[in-house]
Structure 1
Amino acid sequence: MADESQSNGSAQAGQAQQPQVRMQVLAQYIRDLSFENAVAQKGAPTGDVQPEISVQVSLDARKRGTEHQYEVISKFRVTSKNKGDGQTLFLAELDYGGVFHIEGVPEEQLHPFLMIECPRMLFPFVRRIISDLTRDGGFPPFNMEPVDFVALYRQELARRAEQQKTEQQAVADGSKSS
């Protein structure tokens, strides 16, 4: 019995040392929204229409003036083209923002937290807006597949590392020719 209470005491002490992560969504908003129905503007495509949809996602985050507050913007670009002739059927662009209160995340883990967890919280709302937008624009509702924000974050880190390597190589090559 005495051993159990000591182990519980040390477990509680260990939990007290690690800060609790606290995340709260303070606000969500559409920063920018655009829908272009190319079919209505140019007329219906001739022949068989086989839509091919591509989705591009980019993210941005910044600290706000208030302590522990961050703004995260998810940018989605959804393009539908006809496979047959490559004509654009529609283009939807949505910049969707969220304001978050975040405490207890270690500084070295804050950037991935902002770029993965925050967009993950916003995604269901983005998906609904895009679905309603395409439906209201005269097309079948487009229900976006879930976005793997972890993979997206890793791709961005790899892209930045490659860009930095290329820039360093250019500087090194420039100093050799001088």
Structure 2
Amino acid sequence: MTEPTAGNGTQPPQMKMHVLGQFVRDMSFENMLMRQEGNTSVDPDIQVQVGLDARKRNADHQYEVISKFNISSKNKSDGATMFLLELEYAGVFHIENVPEDQIHPFLMIECPRLLFPFVRRIVSDVTRDGGFPPLNLENVDFLQLYRQEILRRAEAKKADNETADA
């Protein structure tokens, strides 16, 4: 069986990606429930906000991708905050042979997808160690997050252009 080839008879370069490292960049957990007196009935309402950031590093083909999670739990009965968790988890990636027009979506979709199982474990451990049942995050659709961010930027740019034209 022959490999597909480019028009000049040579095979296009194979995309390469290696995770060089991953780490907790910043984390904060506050157990507000234990500070409150007398409130023993809890019915949690969990809110998860996800943000992403990526930047080129000084070394060739290296990028840092940061997943930012802000998680809060409020009691449905009285709206009191039970806990707050802020986590920035970063990965350093060596990426080669990804076309320039595809590097941004690759960094914002595929790289966070690889980091997410580690984020899930950290969130579970921290909430458990913080006095709550372990919080097992649902899967995050990074493709949908990326699409929403592109739409948000396009709308903001359109609004800026309309303001400038006025």
Same fold (TM over 0.5): yes
CA distance in 1, matches of 2:121, 2:13: 34
- 1:176 maps to none
The letter for the 2-side match of 1:23 is M
Determine if the alignment matches structure 1 residue 172 to structure 2 residue 137.
no
* Counterpart pick for 1:41 among 11, 35, 42: 35
- 1:62 maps to 55
Deviations for 1:7-33, whole angstroms, at most 9, x for unmatched residues?
Answer: x3xx44339432211100001011101
Gaps of 5+ in 1: 174-178
CA distance in 1, matches of 2:51, 2:38: 31
**1:117 offset after TM fit, Å?**
0.4
Determine if the alignment matches structure 1 residue 13 to structure 2 residue 13.
no
Bigger Cα Rg? 1
Gaps of 5+ in 2: none
The letter for the 2-side match of 1:155 is Q
* Counterpart pick for 2:68 among 53, 59, 75: 75
The RMSD of aligned alpha carbons is 1.5
CA distance in 1, matches of 2:38, 2:20: 43
More helix by share: 1
Deviations for 1:89-118, whole angstroms, at most 9, x for unmatched residues?
Answer: 000010000000000100000000000000
- Identical-residue share of aligned pairs (%): 61
Q: How does the TM-score come out when normalised to structure 2?
A: 0.94
CA distance in 2, matches of 1:154, 1:100: 22
Deviations for 1:37-83, whole angstroms, at most 9, x for unmatched residues?
Answer: 0011223525x311010100000000000000000000001100011
Q: How many positions carry a matched residue from both structures?
A: 164
